[in-house]
Structure 1
Amino acid sequence: MLRLLMAAVAAIYLAAGASAQDWAKAALEKSPRHGEWVELKHNDRKLKAFVVFPEVSKKATSVLVIHEIFGLSDWVRLMADDLAAAGYIAIAPDLLSGTAPGGGGTDEFKSGDAVRKAIMTLPPDQITADLKASLEHVATLPASNGKVAVAGFCWGGTQAFRFAANSEKLKASFPFYGSAPTDLKVLERIQCPVHGFYGGNDNRINSTLDKTSEQMKAAGKKFEPVLYDQAGHGFMRAGQAPDASEPNKKGRKDAIDRLTKLLEGL
């Protein structure tokens, strides 16, 4: 009886998580832009990624979108579509490709906890290799002008900061509410400007920014963090939801405005 009750509770939580993404999936299905799944291969690994193209008349800059700790969700794909709507090619790789039971990716895990646990065990070198493969794919597309920036959210924000130290081909890094590497030698390898986006009510991350700013200055690197008043952690997702609070909604709007202006300047 207890086992049945636990199964029922788990089913309720899974359903709630799915419904929380229904609005993102619905928005994706209404998008007029061309989106496609691609399989990238490097070494002995196969990486699944979602690519969206802007409706423009000239070659476009690309943005590598790194997902949250929740994996490649419908919202992350919607974020890629939003970037395409603004005029940029966007690629969102599923960094959990091949890690789920049965060899699948994010969609094959049975719970959010399972996704989070799997992400925290990903080898750093594999993450870097996956991101480099994604960058090479969009940089060499016929529709691309060869310029690539990276934008990551939550866990992906941390990876966007880290990737700036592991790729000489990036034009800019945009970490959204992610922590930075703490090793000065790692920061010294960064070759592009880093523009950070942080919720004002996210002190878990914001309490690290002073040290990051000091280290980036010591390394001679450009770091421009901006805090969005009263917005919380994950405000880019939360600010787009139907029940978004005003601070999260405003934070998202202001962040999008800043991001697009920075991309225009690349």
Structure 2
Amino acid sequence: MPTRNDQIITPDGSFGAYISVPDKPNGHAVVVVQEIFGVTPHIREVTDRYAREGYLAVAPDLFWRVEPGLSLTHSKEDMQRAFSIVGQFSEELGVLDIGHAAAYAKAQPGITGGVAVVGMCLGGKLAYLAAARLPVDACIAFYGVGIEKDLAEAGGITAPLLMFFGGKDKYVSAPVRHDIKKAVSGNAKVAIRVYEEADHGFYTRGEPDVIKSAHAEAKDFLSKNLPHGAGAA
């Protein structure tokens, strides 16, 4: 399974992206949206995970305006640095960059089906916003942090959206999940799945059986919601 690093051109500059190319393409593409730590080995592994399933997978460097090429660990020092960088990050521009990454993916050879957005943590919130703002075909938000600050967007969601949460996640507590569920309850395009025993980060750093189960649900959601073009499976 070949991988590469590309530059995605935008009207106000260019940014890097990690690209994972499937050996057996299914005609679809996935934009994998990073956590607060940048395009880390964890994010590249998720990108490769989708490529193994047949998706062209693109992980854009959304922090390129603040600190391009960032890849932090979960050490105390790196956590502090990550929160500092997030404070300088524009979600508005981040969503636009996801749109540029989706357009890049759509233009690649062999993409005849749909383009989805899959995000975790910060990326989970951005996937939620993408479902409301971008012309993408489906979005998956894993434990999106801060969604409750933009519940007004819920009524504008047009792309099918699946949101995963962990029942033990202190960053997205039960009252927050309740507010999110209430806000999206009138939108038939939105579904919520809670893994009651899971904590924050379970899709990248959780128990193997939880990762496997969540990924199977994500794949099923994409299979049902991405449009099929010539050659797409």
Task: Tell me the TM-score normalized by structure 2.
Answer: 0.86
Q: Give 1:158 deviation, angstroms.
A: 1.1
Query: RMSD of aligned C-alpha atoms?
Result: 2.1
Secondary structure at the counterpart of residue 64 of structure 1: strand
State which of 141, 144, 147 in structure 2 corresponds to 1:178.
144
Q: Is the 8 A contact 2:124 2:143 kept in 1?
A: yes
CA distance in 1, matches of 2:113, 2:92: 24
Q: Which amino acid aligns with 1:78?
A: E
Secondary structure at the counterpart of residue 192 of structure 1: coil
1:42 paired with 2:10, answer yes
Q: Which amino acid aligns with 2:49?
A: D
Give the structure, 1 or 2, with the largest relative contact order (CA under 8 Å, sep 6 or more).
2
Q: Which amino acid aligns with 1:134?
A: A
Stretches of structure 2 lacking an aligned partner (at least 5 in a row): 227-233
Secondary structure at the counterpart of residue 141 of structure 1: coil
Deviations, residues 168-188 of structure 1 (Å, cap 9, x unaligned)? x22211100114254454222
Structure-2 residue corresponding to 1:105: 69
* 1:147-186 correspondence runs (5 A): 147-167=114-134, 169-179=135-145, 180-186=147-153
Structure-2 residue corresponding to 1:21: none
Taking structure 1 as reference, are residues 262 and 42 closer, same or farther at Cα in structure 2, changes over 3 Å only? same
Q: Give 1:118 deviation, angstroms.
A: 1.0
Q: Give 1:35 deviation, angstroms.
A: 0.9
Q: Which amino acid aligns with 1:226?
A: R
Q: Is the 8 A contact 2:165 2:193 kept in 1?
A: yes
1:257 paired with 2:224, answer no
Secondary structure at the counterpart of residue 64 of structure 2: coil
Q: Which amino acid aligns with 2:216?
A: D
CA distance in 2, matches of 1:69, 1:221: 30
Deviations, residues 21-60 of structure 1 (Å, cap 9, x unaligned)? xxxxxxxxxxxx111111112122211101111111x552
Q: Is the 8 A contact 2:37 2:71 kept in 1?
A: no
CA distance in 2, matches of 1:254, 1:190: 26
1:95 paired with 2:62, answer yes
Deviates more, 1:110-119 or 1:152-161: 110-119
CA distance in 2, matches of 1:196, 1:98: 28
Q: Give 1:90 deviation, angstroms.
A: 0.7
- Percent sequence identity over aligned pairs: 25
Q: Is the 8 A contact 1:48 1:93 kept in 2?
A: yes
Q: Is the 8 A contact 1:229 1:251 kept in 2?
A: no
Q: Which amino acid aligns with 1:176?
A: F
Taking structure 1 as reference, are residues 183 and 111 closer, same or farther at Cα in structure 2, changes over 3 Å only? closer
Q: Is the 8 A contact 1:199 1:229 kept in 2?
A: yes
Q: Give 1:229 deviation, angstroms.
A: 3.5
Structure-2 residue corresponding to 1:192: 159
CA distance in 1, matches of 2:133, 2:34: 18
Q: Which amino acid aligns with 2:42?
A: W
Deviates more, 1:176-185 or 1:70-79: 176-185
Q: Give 1:114 deviation, angstroms.
A: 2.1
Deviations, residues 38-97 of structure 1 (Å, cap 9, x unaligned)? 1112122211101111111x5521111111111110110111001100111110001111
Larger Cα Rg: Structure 1 or Structure 2? 1
1:85 paired with 2:76, answer no
CA distance in 2, matches of 1:262, 1:81: 18
Task: Tell me the TM-score normalized by structure 1.
Answer: 0.76
